[in-house]
Each structure stands twice: as C-alpha cells, then as structure tokens.
Chain A
C-alpha cells in the first residue's frame, strides 16, 4: 500500500513537471512534437515529448549534458553557471521556479511568446 502511494506520488510529481514542458517547449519551438534528450526522466507518458537517445536527434537537452542543442536546466546553481542555457526549472526557497533567457532563445531562433514575459531574464 505504502509503495503504491510513493510510486503514485513520484509519477504524479513527474507528470506535473512533464506537463510544464509539454506546455512550454511546443510554444518555443513552434512544433507539435519535441524530441528531448535527458538522463533525468527515465520514463514518462507524453503525446508531445519524445525521448531520444542522442544529442544530434534532439530538439532540446534537459539537464547538464554536453551537447550543442538548446539546453534547459533543472538546477538553480547550474543555471547560474551555464550562461548558454535557454532556461531552467528548479526549486528555490521552497517554490518551483521557471526562468527563460531571452538572448539565448533568440540566438537559437526560437519563438518568444507573450506568455513567457514574467519568466524572462
């Protein structure tokens, strides 16, 4: 019973983060299907995000991985260090935070939606 609850909790948490990426990435890339390369999420169900096994076939990289594709980070300190990242999702002061870097988004010719305005830096 307890294991089931924990499993449900992990899936649920991941599902919400995946929902955030499902909402964000298609707007950035103006595409219906986004190929992501990541070590973080072992398994997830998504009709929008497709996990790929290498950097070259990916549209975006999730996490601190060496790759020349747009990078979206999942840690505050990594985001502060890596000036090339287009954005990040992380926890800060107990709150989930979304940050997007305008300059890098434009560098990769991605779309800047008005909906991003409060997350831009």
Chain B
C-alpha cells in the first residue's frame, strides 16, 4: 500500500511539474489540432514536435516512415506508386501548402518537386492515404500531402539554418513578424550511383501575408536535376535531365457568405532524354531514342465553397474551376515534333455532408462531378469524372471509434499522356472502388491503437504496351491493405510509434506484396532531443524478394533560445533497402546485373540553427 501511495505521490509530482505542464502546452497547442481532418483512410499527422525531433528537413524524410514510402524511379523522381514507365507516372497525388492546392493539371505529381525542398518553412505535415482530406472538397486521392506553414506570431524573428553532409549541403533563412512570413532556401544534392549522376539543385522562396481577412501566399520552386538512368537500358545514359521552374500566387478570403480560394501559377518545364542504344520504350515497335519536352504554362484555379452548420449537420458545397493553358511548347519524340494538348479545362461541383443521426454516430456522404475538356490544335476530347464517398463513424465510447467508408474514385489520364505520340487514342477514365474499415482505441494520453483494413478494385489503369503505347489495362488490379499502428506516449509529447503495414496486389506485373515495419522513438531530455527510427521493408515479386533493414539516429542539443546544433545518421545499416533498376546488354542481348541504389543513401548530417 505504501508503495502505491509513494508511486501515486511521485506521479502527482511529475504530473504537476513545470516541465510536464510545458509539455502539455506544447502538445495541446500544436497547430495540427486546428487543421487535421476527419479521415476515412490512413492518416499521419506529423506535428511540429515530431518534425523537429526527427530532424526532418525534406518531405522524403517523413514519407520514409509512412505507408507512402520514399521510392524513386529511373528518372530520379520521388514516385512511390507509379506503375507505368513514363517519368511522371502519378496523377493521384495532391499537394497543398496551407489551403492552396498547388497540384496542377500539367504536373499531376508535384511530389518530386517537394521531395528535395527544405521544410524550414513548414510547421507540420498531414499525409492522407486513400481518403479525401480537403475540408471543402470530397475528391478522394490515393495520396494527399498537406504542408502547413509556420505561424509568424510563434516563429517571429530571423532564423538561419545550415546543413552539411557528405551527400548534400543546404542553407535557408526564415523571417517572420506579426502577419507575414518569408522563407528562402537552397539545396544542392550530390550523389553518383555506378558513376551515374543523381545530382540536383533546388531553390525555394515562400512568403505569406495576412491583411485583415485577406490571405496571400507566394511560393516558387526552381529544381534542376540529372535524371539518373532516364531512357537508358544499359545503365549508361547519354543525356538525361529535368528542369522545372514553378511560381504560385495564392489568395483566399472567408467572406460571410462563402469562402474564396484562387491560385495563379506559372510553370516552365524542360526535360530531355537521349539514348544511343535505346530499348526501354517502344513506339509502334520502334525504340524511342530521344524525348524532348519544353513548355510554359499558365494555370488558374478558382474555388468557391460554402459551409452550413447546425447542431447535428455540417454541409459544405461549392465549385472549382481549373484552367491549364500551354503558352508555348515544343515536344519531340525521335526528333519528330508533335503538338500534344494546348489547354485543359476542368469544371467541378461538389458537396459533402456530415449528419449526426445518433449521439454516437455520424453519417458522411460526399459527391463530386468534374468535366474535363482537353483541347489540342486539331481536336478536343471530354472526360466526365465522378467521385463518391459514403461512410459512417461510430463511437462505441470516447475511447473506441469505428469507421466504415466506401470511396468510388475516377481519374483521367495525365496530360502528357493525352495527345502524346505513344498513346492509344481511346483512353478511358480509370475507376476504383475502395472499402475501408478502421478502428481506433485511445486511452487518455497514454496510448493510441489504430487498425486499418482496405480493399481496392481498380479498373482501366494505364499500362505500357510496346505495340500500342499507353493503353488501359484490360485486367482489374486488386489491392488488400492492413495497417496496424500503436503509439505509446511516455508523457504528453515524447512517444514511441510501432507500425506494421502490408499490401497484397493482384495483377500488378509480377509484384505480389509490399510490407513495412517501423519503430519511431522520439524523446526529449532537458536540452537534448533524441530520435531512433528503424524501418524494415520487404517487397515480394513472383521471382524473388527484395528486403532491407534500415536505421536512422539523431541527437540535437538546444544550447539556448538562439542556437541549436544537431547530428543525424541516415540509413546507417549496410542491410538498408535498395531499389533495383534492371539493365540489358543490347550487344550481347542479355540481362546484366541490375543497378541497386538506396532511396536514402548512408549519410551523416550536421545541422545548425541560429535565431536572432
């Protein structure tokens, strides 16, 4: 009994200590508490504390620990779910900065741009997998990533960041005061795999300002990179680079009767692949030896939405208009010029309703209808796209929550595929039916248990066929997913996360399954921050298994309010997961040993942060 009383006394002392209260303030005042969305699918909220503790400087550092993963393709682009062999193979990923969707119709996979972008301007990140995540729009996406910028009131002053490592160097500064925030960064990445360059230079300027009820955002990214293998089959690319310059200007205002969101974006993209001995992609049985694309585009997005709330009902509805116009373009395949699309117009109407029909049950339905008009010099085609979400959330009690959701998603082929020389003329919209069951058990602030079961059936996904080019897959693709996550909170903020994820595929080339086990431990002791991250990844093919065990470790010393220094070891184990890129000896007509490369190579990173 005395022991129990003693333990209780110690616990009470701990619970009320100044340190514990400060942790409680940090936990409850995290800005993600204001922004996170109710999600039917798998979601990750990476708080400011976690970003800081993990010393996450790039988006790929975060994705590494999620089910999204940080795999890169033959073109040196972060491209986790690509199933086709073209560089920007995903059109089911969306990225937001604050409330602005910066995914354009012309670059439906902006994830590659953000993979090398410094996160010094980011407060916290939300990653949603297989669910809609826009409060004002119910369009489901395979992956939605939301980057929330820092609050100028909480991060006022000047902050300088500098990073040295064997693979990259980076410098950044932030300046914030009252109602505005500015961040500038540059990152130079240097890596060679088998003497093939994966070098890249990325520059970013981010600014935001609030004037009364008006919010303004400016973001620009300049990214130049050597595109690794490109079209090369033998592992000796002759020419392979990608350059992007993107500028975004955003405005939003919450009027009394509706919310308005507008983005004006200017993009310049250039890429060139040349291969003396081509074999990777065929066009009408002729190998493609050179691809050159250069285009300037102007993109506008206007979103008007309205939210109606009563005691038991929450309804949001609105419309989105998106116009992507090519101002100038040059596209050549095997030096043969082709026009491609000149403009894409997208009109969308949507509605999302949450109705609390019982004290402990909420019914959710969301629908959207989009009309795409694709215009080229001589033709124009139309696509109708419908999305539907139906779900129910049931609270057995305050600790146990069950969710059952159904999503029907439809996606159009990416723009660079449409009107391309190696594309079938009768491409159809890809459709998927997704069923998601989730369970959460949360015991106060002590632990959180999460279980997700997903089943997905996709029709008409795009595949590459050597004779016809890109066509719809005649076979349905099935995916079954299980995700189990357990989070133990030592106190309000320090925590350990254990996660197991496995997806089984049917009809995806020779891919059978993909699984991952992750342990992420973060803890603060006085002026020191520690993190340990262990990742085991296993990919099973018909003809074998590729797996790897990886370890990241980090320590940060916060000397005072103005100076912090940190050291991080990335991918420390030799057994780390490596991606394999096949090679073919054209002269001798045989496959040769594939090139292997880790998405995150072994690296020791030193960071310094100085504040004024």
A, B in one complex: yes
- Give chain B nearest CB distance to A109 CB in angstroms: 21
Interface residues of A in 58-91 (CB under 8 A from B): 76-77, 91
Considering the chains assembled together, what is the distance between the CA atoms of A55 and B123 in angstroms? Answer: 38
- Among B16-24, B279-287, B380-388, B449-457, the stretch that binds chain A is B16-24
Considering the chains assembled together, what is the distance between the CA atoms of A13 and B27 in angstroms? Answer: 10
B150 adjacent to A20 (CB under 8 Å)? no
A119 beta carbon closer than 8 Å to chain B: yes
- Among B28-36, B90-98, B467-475, the stretch that binds chain A is B28-36
Interface residues of A in 85-121 (CB under 8 A from B): 91-98, 115-116, 118-119
How many A residues have CB within 8 A of the partner chain? 25
- Give chain A nearest CB distance to B20 CB in angstroms: 9
Known contacts A93-B155, A94-B52, A94-B155; A1/B309 CB under 8 A: yes
B484 beta carbon closer than 8 Å to chain A: no
A12 adjacent to B28 (CB under 8 Å)? yes
- Give chain B nearest CB distance to A4 CB in angstroms: 10
The chain B residues found within 8 Å of chain A, CB to CB, are 16-19, 21-22, 24-26, 28-29, 33-34, 48-49, 52, 123, 150, 153-157, 159, 307, 309, 311, 314, 526, 558, 561, 564, 609, 611
Considering the chains assembled together, what is the distance between the CA atoms of A115 and B314 in angstroms? Answer: 48
Interface code A15-42, partner B: CB below 8 Å = 1, 0 otherwise? 0110110011000000000000000000
Task: List 6 A-B pairs, Cβ < 8 Å.
Answer: A20-B25, A23-B18, A76-B157, A76-B561, A91-B155, A97-B22
Using Cβ atoms and an 8 Å threshold, which residues of chain B touch A76? 156-157, 561
Closest to A96 in B: B25
A94 adjacent to B154 (CB under 8 Å)? yes
Using Cβ atoms and an 8 Å threshold, which residues of chain A touch B26? 95-96
Q: Which of B18, B24, B307 meets A115, CB within 8 Å?
A: B18
Using Cβ atoms and an 8 Å threshold, which residues of chain A touch B28? 12-13, 16
- Give chain A nearest CB distance to B136 CB in angstroms: 13
A20 adjacent to B314 (CB under 8 Å)? no
Considering the chains assembled together, what is the distance between the CA atoms of A17 and B22 in angstroms? Answer: 8
What 8 A-B pairs are tightest by C-beta distance, nearest first? A91-B154, A16-B25, A96-B25, A20-B21, A94-B48, A92-B561, A96-B22, A13-B29
Closest to A119 in B: B18
Considering the chains assembled together, what is the distance between the CA atoms of A16 and B18 in angstroms? Answer: 11
A92 adjacent to B611 (CB under 8 Å)? yes
B561 adjacent to A17 (CB under 8 Å)? no
B123 adjacent to A94 (CB under 8 Å)? yes
A2 beta carbon closer than 8 Å to chain B: yes
B314 adjacent to A19 (CB under 8 Å)? no
Using Cβ atoms and an 8 Å threshold, which residues of chain A touch B16? 23
B561 adjacent to A20 (CB under 8 Å)? no
Considering the chains assembled together, what is the distance between the CA atoms of A69 and B311 in angstroms? Answer: 47
Closest to B29 in A: A13
Considering the chains assembled together, what is the distance between the CA atoms of A35 and B261 in angstroms? Answer: 47
- Give chain A nearest CB distance to B603 CB in angstroms: 24
Q: Which of B21, B29, B33, B609 meets A93, CB within 8 Å?
A: B609
